[in-house]
């Protein structure tokens, strides 16, 4: 007889995977033979640049990499990360004490709570925000306090709205710009204010810079570490998934405060035995090699944004142009909730979008759409929505 063993309390605390049901709904329609345009996920649709793939192929033949890598990562990759930050942001990074290699940025964003929070500790999280911040907080048996990201504030947190006790109790603060899901960008002013706040209340800042390369209209996204004193109070996490279309490679890094870097290295020493050396060599090539593929990628997303938003405006849906990331954050029309509207688009137009309330209470009233299909498919998605005659074109 097969026994069923009960999950631990730790696993029971984990938040429900909100988008699992969305995937199942879309699969059901696809299996029934419908042509579904899936714009609900954040999975890059273009291949990794060939020069990075070729580097991996060549490096895989190196027998040195067939053994365990150094637990904290190859020194050459950490040096490449330091060089990358100096080139892109003018920031000096000590590769020995200010870099942690991550198994994708998601891993680091979950681990950081386990590194720094004890049961009952408080973490400040954006609402709406990336759901996996909550996963790490839950695993730590800590408590989230939400920072509303509202359209009237350009989807930036207003620290003046947080009460004194919350700030005094907070130990960790998550930021993410360019932002998932709102596609907003931040400026130096916000990061300077964040550093001042962190210093005053002894809060560790974690800036999720996953979309750091993807800014539009000639604007280069700001790194948190470009603000004076950032390394005194926190770290920035970066992934190669978005910049170099290496989502399946699971390689990212954290840079910044040495004590936080030390804590990440310590927890990973107990969980992993470092990344495959050939992947680390390919990551070095990505960071230091020809960057023209990155420029081309950003241009591709910007063109997709332009044609999609223009087509939506043509059908009467008054939507803003995103400032960064490969998402658009679209207001739900009057008369619908986020979920009823998402279900309507799925069932009637066979277009998958992500309901905004899956990212937090303040995501209600919006849907997130990924620019992760060809221009032709994005136009088709907009045309399908237009045929539903939900929006009245304004003349």
pLDDT tens per residue across all 395 residues of the chain: 999 999 999 999 998 877 777 788 888 888 888 899 999 988 888 999 999 999 999 999 999 999 989 989 999 999 999 999 999 999 999 999 999 999 999 999 999 999 999 999 999 999 999 999 999 999 999 999 999 999 999 999 999 999 999 999 999 999 999 999 999 999 999 999 999 999 999 999 999 999 999 999 999 999 999 999 999 999 999 999 999 999 999 999 999 999 999 999 999 999 988 899 999 999 999 999 999 999 999 999 999 999 999 999 999 999 999 999 999 999 999 999 999 999 999 999 999 999 999 999 999 999 999 999 999 999 999 999 999 988 864 43
Joined together, the tokens standing for residue 178 give 């360019």
What's the predicted TM-score (pTM) here? 0.95
Residue pair 82/93 in contact (Cβ under 8 Å)? The answer is yes
Tell me the domains of the chain and their CATH numbers.
9-48+292-387 (3.90.1150.10), 51-288 (3.40.640.10)
Residue 394 is predicted with a pLDDT of 46
Q: Which of 301, 377, 369 is nearest to 331 (CA)?
A: 369
Residue 34 is predicted with a pLDDT of 87
- Strands (E) across the chain are located at 37-38, 99-102, 122-127, 143-148, 170-176, 204-208, 234-239, 252-256, 327-331, 351-352, 354-355, 366-370
Between vectors from CA 114 to CA 327 and to CA 121, what angle results, nearest 5°? Answer: 95
Joined together, the tokens standing for residue 323 give 């400032």
Residue 373 is predicted with a pLDDT of 94
Q: Which of 387, 316, 314 is nearest to 349 (CA)?
A: 387
Residues contacting 98, CB < 8 A, separation 6+: 82, 231, 255, 256, 257, 258, 261
Between vectors from CA 17 to CA 11 and to CA 20, what angle results, nearest 5°? Answer: 135
Helix (H) and strand (E) counts in the chain:
15, 12
Residue 41 is predicted with a pLDDT of 84
Residues contacting 228, CB < 8 A, separation 6+: 192, 195
Peptide bond into 139 cis (omega under 30): no
Q: Rounded to the nearest 10 degrees, what angle do helices 375-387 and 292-314 cross at?
A: 20
């Amino acid at each position: 007889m097969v026994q069923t063993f009960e999950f631990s309390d730790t696993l029971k605390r984990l938040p429900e995977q909100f988008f699992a049901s969305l995937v199942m709904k879309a699969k059901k329609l696809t299996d029934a033979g419908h042509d579904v345009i899936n714009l609900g996920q954040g999975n890059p649709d273009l291949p990794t640049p060939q020069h990075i793939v070729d580097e991996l192929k060549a490096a895989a033949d190196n027998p040195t990499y067939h053994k365990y890598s150094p637990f904290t990562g190859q020194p050459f990759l950490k040096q490449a990360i330091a060089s990358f930050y100096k080139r892109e942001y003018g920031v000096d990074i000590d590769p020995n004490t200010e870099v942690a290699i991550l198994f994708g940025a998601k891993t680091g964003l979950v681990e950081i709570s386990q590194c720094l929070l004890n049961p009952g500790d408080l973490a400040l999280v954006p609402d709406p925000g990336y759901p996996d911040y909550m996963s790490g907080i839950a695993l730590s048996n800590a408590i989230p306090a939400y920072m509303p990201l509202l359209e009237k504030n350009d989807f930036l947190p207003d620290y003046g709205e947080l009460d004194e006790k919350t700030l005094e109790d907070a130990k960790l603060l998550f930021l993410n710009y360019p932002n998932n899901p709102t596609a907003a960008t931040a400026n130096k002013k916000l990061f300077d204010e964040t550093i001042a706040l962190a210093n005053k209340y002894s809060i560790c800042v974690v800036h999720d810079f996953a979309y750091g390369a993807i800014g539009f209209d000639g604007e280069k996204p700001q790194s948190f570490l470009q603000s004076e004193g950032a390394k005194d109070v926190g770290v920035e996490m970066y992934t190669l998934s978005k910049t170099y279309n290496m989502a399946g490679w699971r390689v990212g890094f954290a840079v910044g405060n040495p004590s936080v870097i030390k804590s990440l290295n310590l927890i990973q020493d107990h969980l992993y035995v470092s990344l495959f050396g050939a992947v680390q060599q390919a990551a070095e090539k990505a960071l230091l090699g020809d960057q023209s593929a990155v420029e081309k990628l950003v241009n591709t997303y910007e063109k997709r944004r332009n044609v999609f938003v223009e087509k939506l405006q043509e059908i009467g849906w008054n939507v803003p142009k995103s400032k960064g990331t490969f998402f658009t954050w679209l207001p739900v029309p009057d008369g619908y909730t986020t979920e009823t509207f998402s279900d309507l688009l799925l069932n009637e137009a066979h277009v998958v979008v992500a309901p905004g309330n899956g990212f937090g209470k303040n995501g209600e009233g919006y849907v997130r759409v990924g620019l992760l299909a060809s221009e032709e498919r994005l136009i088709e998605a907009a045309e399908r929505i237009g045929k539903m005659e939900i929006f009245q074109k304004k003349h």
